[in-house]
Amino acid sequence: MKFKPKYTIFDPKKFLKTVIFFFPLVFIFLIILNRIIFGPQNDIFINLAKEDGPVEVSTAIFYFMSFLFSILIGIRIIKQKKNLFALIYFLFSIAFFLIAFEEISWGQRIFSIDTSEYFKDNLQDETNIHNFLKPMVLHYLTLVVPLVVFILWAVFTSLDKLKEKIFIKVFTPQGYVMSYFILALIFYESLLFQVHKYSEELNVYLFKHPGSEIFEFFISVGIFIFITSKFFELKNQEKINSKG
Q: How many structural domains is the chain composed of?
A: 1
Q: In this structure, are residues 27 and 184 in contact, taking their beta carbons and an 8 Å threshold? A: no
- Domain contains 137: yes
Report the distance separating Cα 59 and Cα 219, nearest Å: 8
Backbone angles phi, psi at 80, to 5 degrees: -90, 5
Distance in angstroms (rounded) separating the CA atoms of residues 28 and 183: 9
In a domain, 174, yes or no: yes
Amino acid sitting at position 167:
F
In a domain, 154, yes or no: yes
36 assigned to some structural domain:
no
Task: Print the domain residue range for 185.
Answer: 52-239
Tell me, yes or no, whether 6 lies in a domain: no
Task: Indicate the helix (H) or strand (E) that contains 149.
Answer: helix 135-156
Report the predicted TM-score, pTM, of the whole model to 2 decimal places.
Answer: 0.84
Taking Cα atoms as reference points, which of 209, 216, 218, 206 lies closest to residue 34?
A: 206
How many other C-beta atoms can be found within 10 angstroms of the C-beta atom of residue 106?
18
Q: Give me the tens of pLDDT residue by residue for the chain, a chain 244 residues long.
A: 455 555 567 788 899 999 999 999 999 999 888 888 888 778 888 888 887 789 989 999 999 999 999 999 999 999 888 889 999 999 999 999 999 988 877 666 766 656 656 555 665 656 566 565 566 777 788 888 999 999 988 888 777 665 556 677 788 888 999 999 999 988 887 776 665 454 455 555 565 656 688 899 999 999 999 999 999 988 887 777 777 5
At 172 the three-state DSSP class reads coil
Residue 9: inside a domain:
no
Give a yes or no: residue 231 inside a domain. Answer: yes
Q: Does residue 33 sit within a domain?
A: no
Question: How far apart (Å, rounded) are the C-alpha atoms in residues 172 and 178?
Answer: 11
DSSP H/E element including 23: helix 12-38
